[in-house]
Structure 1
Amino acid sequence: MCTSVNFLSTTGDYFLARTMDFDFNLDGRPVVIPRHQHFNSDAHDAGYDTKLAFVGAGKNIGSYILVDGVNEKGLSGAALYFSDEAQYSDQPQSHKTNLASHEVLNWILGNAESCADLANQLGDLNVVNSPIKLLGQAVPLHWIVADRSGDCRVLEIKADGIHYMTDPVGVMTNSPDFTWHLQNLSNYTELQPTPHPDRNYNGYQISSFGPGSGALGMPGDYTSVSRFIRTVFMRQYTEGVSSKNAINALSHILNSVEIPKGVKLKANGQSDYTQYRGYMDMSNLTYYMQPYDDQSISKVTMTEALMNKSVPTEFPINHSQQYQELN
C-alpha cells in the first residue's frame, strides 16, 4: 500500500515522490544502476537488458530490483501494489521482452527516455505471472511514470490487457484501478481550502467553525481510496515553492498519508507502515530517501562516473545528518 504524487516547482522543475508502505521491512536503500546492464529474469532465461543509468531505492536479491527511481534522461517512476486487479500472462511469449512484475520498473527506467518513449516500447512487453523470491509469489503491481515535460501516466496490466493512461491529477495509490479513482473524485467537489459561506435556514444563520471547514468531509482513513483523495487535495492547494524547497513541500504533502506503525493492522495482525518516502528530482537526477526511523533525508546524485561504472553502486543510509550527500 503506497501513495505517489507528481509535483511542479515554481521554477519549472518536476519531482515525483512516494511513500513505501508495507508490513515487513523491505530494507531498500539508494542504489545507482549504471548504463548497459544485463539482468537475469524470473520470467525467462533470456533475461533483459538496460541501456540507461538510473538511481532509486532497491534491494539485491541475486540482482538489484528497484521499486522507484529516476533515470539519466529525467524519466521517473514508482511501483505500487495493485492487489486483486493486476493480471499477467501465464507464459512467456517469443519475440517479446518477458518480465516478472517486480522487474518492470528496472526495464522502464533502463530503456525509456520519456513517457511518450515508453508508450512506443510497451508493445514489446510481456509481463509473466512469475514469483519474486522475497515473497514467494507474483507481486500485483501497477506503475506511475513522469518526465521532465510534465507528462505523467499510469501503467496497469489487467485481464483485458495493458492500460497506459494519462494521469491528469498527478497522484496514484493502490486498488481499485486508476480510472475508478478519477471517477471517485466527483464525490468530493465540495472540498476547498477556504471556509464555506454562511447558510440561512428559514432565517436561522449558521457559520462554519473557523478556518479549515472547506475540507470537511475529506476522508482521513488509510485506505487507498481515501489517500488518493487527500493527496489530490494537498497537491492542488499546497503553496508553490521553488525547486530548492520542493523536497520539503513534498514531505509535508506526504505527511497527510504517512502510516505510523500500529495504526493500520492486517487480518493477520501485521502492521502496514510507511517504511520510507522517496523523492525523485528529474532535473538534477537526484534521489532522496527519508526512512521511517528518524525522518532524516539523504540524497544520491548520479554522476558520469557512477553512470559509467561496470557494476551498481549501493549507498548505506546514515541517520545522523539531514540532506547528507551519500558517496
Structure 2
Amino acid sequence: MCTSIYTTTTDQKHMLARTMDFSYPLASQPVFIPRKYTWNLAAATQTIENKYGFIGTGKNLGGAYFVADGVNEMGLAVAELYLPGEAVYHEDPLAEQLNLAPHEFILWLLGNCRSVDDVAQRLAAIRLIDIPVPVLGFVTPLHWIITDKTGACVVIEPTSLTEPLQFKQNPVGVMTNTPKLEWHIENLRNYLNTQPMQFASTTFGTFTADPFSQGTGTSGLPGGYTPPERFVRAAFFKEHIEAAKTETEGVHNAFEILSTVKIPKGIVQKSDQTDDYSQYISVMCNETSTFYYQDYNTNEISCVQLHDQLLASDQVVEFPISKTPIFKTF
C-alpha cells in the first residue's frame, strides 16, 4: 500500500509527502544518518561510505539502519513504496556493478546523490538483487519516487530483468502501488467528469432536477482504498486544493491531501486478519531539507531540519516522537 504526492508552493518550495501503509508494525521514527555513514552491502563484501547526511523515517534492523523515505542535505528527496506483482530483481550480483538489495537502494540514493540528474548519470551502474530485509525475512517489492529542488519528479520501477533501471517522468506528481505508473496515468481519463464546481440543474421532460446539496462535481470520485482509487483521489485533491503560499502552508496542504487516502485501523484487513493501515505520514521539503513526521496515534507533527549543527555530527540520531493525541485545553 502507500500513497505519495509531490507539490509546489507559490514561493517555489517543493514538497514530497507520503503515507506509509503497512500491516507489519514498523515502529519507525525520524532518524538522522550522518555524512560518512558506512554500511555493508548485503549482496557482497563491499562497504559503502555515504557522502551526504540525510533525515528520514528509519529503524535499526540487524545492526544497520534502513529508511523508507527521506531528504538529504542537497535537497534530494526519495520515498519507496510497494509494487507487488510487478517488481522483479536479479538473482546474482555482477562484479562490475553496484549490487544493492532493494531495501538498500534508498540508503544509497540519499547518501550519495545530489539531484535527479546525478541519479540519472549513475543509474546504469545499479543492479538490484533479490535479498530479503534483515529481521523481517522477506524481499520487499519496491518502486521509488525521487524529487529535487528543480521540480523534477521521476519514478523508478524495476519491472524488467533484460533492461537497465531507468526513469519514468511523473507528470501527475502522484504514486501509489500496483499497477505500474503508466496505467494509473491513463486511468485518469476515466474521471474527466469530476470537478470542484457544482453541476447545474437539468431537465427530464417537464421536471427540473436540482442538486440535493453542494459537491455534485465530485460525485464521480472513487471512495475505496485500492491503489487506483487512492491515485485518483490524491491526483484530484492535489490538483484542486487551494495553492499553498509558503512551506508551512505546503506541509498543511500535504497532510490535508493525504488525509483523503489515509487508512484507519480496521478498514483494510488482509487475509490473515491483520490491519493494513497508515502507520505514519511524512513530508519533505527539497529546498530547506526539512522533514515532517506524524505517527498514526497522534495529531502532533514532529519537525527536523538538516541544520549545520546536526550535519556536523558524525553519529546517527534518533528522534523520539509522540504516540498519543495532543489536545489544547482551556
Please give the TM-score of this superposition, normalised by the length of structure 1: 0.95
Per-residue displacement from partner, 1:283-321 (whole Å, max 9, x unpaired)?
221111100111210111112232232231111114579
Supply the distance in 2 between the matched residues of 1:302 and 1:147 (Cα, whole angstroms): 15
Per-residue displacement from partner, 1:17-36 (whole Å, max 9, x unpaired)?
10011102101111111112
SS of equivalent residue, structure 1 residue 102: helix
Matched, 1:167 2:158: no
2:194 matched residue in structure 1: 191
Q: How many angstroms does 1:230 deviate by? A: 0.2
Matched, 1:278 2:282: yes
Supply the distance in 1 between the matched residues of 2:166 and 2:125 (Cα, whole angstroms): 14
Q: How many angstroms does 1:202 deviate by? A: 4.2
Matched, 1:291 2:295: yes
Q: How many angstroms does 1:241 deviate by? A: 1.6
2:2 matched residue in structure 1: 2
2:306 matched residue in structure 1: 302
Contact 2:143 2:155 in 1 (8 A): yes
Please give the TM-score of this superposition, normalised by the length of structure 2: 0.94
2:153 matched residue in structure 1: 152
Residue identity matched to 1:164: F
Supply the distance in 1 between the matched residues of 2:111 and 2:240 (Cα, whole angstroms): 34
Q: Bigger shift: 164-173 or 37-46?
A: 37-46
Contact 2:156 2:166 in 1 (8 A): yes
Residue identity matched to 2:295: P
Alignment of 1:308-319 (within 5 A): 308-319=312-323
Q: Bigger shift: 305-314 or 120-129?
A: 305-314
1:120 matched residue in structure 2: 121
Contact 1:155 1:164 in 2 (8 A): yes
Contact 1:42 1:132 in 2 (8 A): no
Alignment of 1:15-26 (within 5 A): 15-26=15-26
1:40 matched residue in structure 2: 40
Q: How many angstroms does 1:197 deviate by? A: 2.7
Select the residue among 257, 269, 291 that pairs with 2:261.
257
2:71 matched residue in structure 1: 70
SS of equivalent residue, structure 1 residue 182: helix
2:141 matched residue in structure 1: 140
Residue identity matched to 1:152: C
SS of equivalent residue, structure 2 residue 267: coil
Alignment of 1:221-260 (within 5 A): 221-242=224-245, 243-260=247-264
Supply the distance in 2 between the matched residues of 1:121 and 1:49 (Cα, whole angstroms): 16
Supply the distance in 2 between the matched residues of 1:104 and 1:257 (Cα, whole angstroms): 26
State the number of aligned residues: 322
Structure 2 unaligned regions, length at least 5: none
Per-residue displacement from partner, 1:235-268 (whole Å, max 9, x unpaired)?
0001012222221111111110111100100011
Contact 1:49 1:107 in 2 (8 A): no
Supply the distance in 2 between the matched residues of 1:321 and 1:265 (Cα, whole angstroms): 24
Supply the distance in 2 between the matched residues of 1:279 and 1:10 (Cα, whole angstroms): 17
Select the residue among 202, 215, 220 that pairs with 1:217.
220
Alignment of 1:51-70 (within 5 A): 51-61=51-61, 62-70=63-71
Supply the distance in 1 between the matched residues of 2:322 and 2:213 (Cα, whole angstroms): 43
1:179 matched residue in structure 2: 182
Structure 1 unaligned regions, length at least 5: 323-327
1:325 matched residue in structure 2: none
SS of equivalent residue, structure 1 residue 158: coil
2:110 matched residue in structure 1: 109
Supply the distance in 1 between the matched residues of 2:17 and 2:78 (Cα, whole angstroms): 9
Residue identity matched to 1:195: Q
| Identical pairs, percent | 38
1:207 matched residue in structure 2: 210
2:13 matched residue in structure 1: 13
Per-residue displacement from partner, 1:66-99 (whole Å, max 9, x unpaired)?
1000011111110001101100111111121110
Per-residue displacement from partner, 1:83-117 (whole Å, max 9, x unpaired)?
01100111111121110000111111112211121
Return closer, same or farther for 1:250/1:18 CA change in 2, 3 Å cut-off: same
Supply the distance in 2 between the matched residues of 1:283 and 1:68 (Cα, whole angstroms): 16
SS of equivalent residue, structure 1 residue 57: strand
